[in-house]
Amino acid sequence: MSLTGLIPPDVSLNAAIAICAIAFVSGTARGFSGFGSALIFMPLASSMAAPQLVAAVLLIIDFIAGLVARGFAYASGGDVYYRVRNYPDYGKLSKRDIDDLSSGARVDQSELKDDPLDFALWKAAKPGEPSWDSPWGPGRPGWHIECSAMALKELGEQIDVHGGGADLIFPHHSNEIAQTEAFTGKPPFAKIWMHNALLQLGEEKMSKSLGNLVFVHDLLEAHDARAVRLAVVGHHYRDSWEWTDGLMPAATERLGRWADAGSGDGALDEVRLALDDDLDTPAAAAAIDAAAAAGHGVASAAALLGVILYD
């Protein structure tokens, strides 16, 4: 989403929302719509729900109130903080010891925490920021609580697989675990965690803040959606890799070789084994390459990677 001309480039997210709330919300809606279109053309399975924070604020407030009632959170000066030391398994996902975390914790003098490790569930309103009424006064949710509250509503108290970028392991996913398990009393929050490594463009990771993004909808204007998929699945999700100009020509050529090989079940068993091994898509694609080069049809194996060679 671009708000160029409406918002100065150096303002914070909260200030940006306050300056241009209507444009932000409508732009976000357009972003969701564009993302949904990309899912269809790739193709990818559609999600069962697409919750958004603004519609879930009351749910979030109820979740925070539940943590306060259970002794895992406390109000302070209009803020509400999670009491980290009341949750003994804090940091288990990132394999970090709580005492090591404590020694390196920074203290913001404007925050009224009991412990430097405690993190915000609710922040008191500041001038110019969006805010909602709550039992602790006007304010907004912290940066972690919304995921716990919306996951609870849409998926239940425990979920099978939770994914996200490797940069979210700590603190975001660690805080999400602590919040949810404290609220439900039912560990584990997620049975399996799948964290993808970061994608780079040049020597820097792709990010909204840097503006160095490659958009799927732009790729789809110039390339077959199946080739876009092959450019991605040629790398393991846990491995960091770099997007380069040579990826799409190579993926298009690979797609052509697979299509030329014809229909058949070549490499089908090898692909199933590779995908069962921590979703090893590079090994799966390499097995299909080998089968196609040997003259075997690979349409069935390609379909397991979401690449439909023939209608």
How many other C-beta atoms are found inside a 10 Å radius of the C-beta of residue 150?
Answer: 20
Residue 288 confidence class, pLDDT cut points 50, 70, 90: very high
How many other C-beta atoms are found inside a 10 Å radius of the C-beta of residue 211?
Answer: 9
Record the pTM: 0.81
Q: How many Å apart are CA 300 and CA 10, to the nearest integer?
A: 50
* CB distance 291 to 262 below 8 Å: no
| Cβ-proximal residues to 188 (8 Å cutoff; 6+ apart), any chain | 158, 177, 181
Q: Could you tell me the CA-to-CA distances from 274 to 114, 270, 292 in Å, in that order? A: 49, 6, 17
Q: What is the pLDDT of residues 218-272, one digit of tens each?
A: 898 999 999 999 999 999 999 999 999 899 999 999 999 999 999 999 999 999 9
Q: What is the pLDDT of residues 143-187, one digit of tens each?
A: 999 999 999 999 999 999 999 999 999 999 999 999 999 999 999
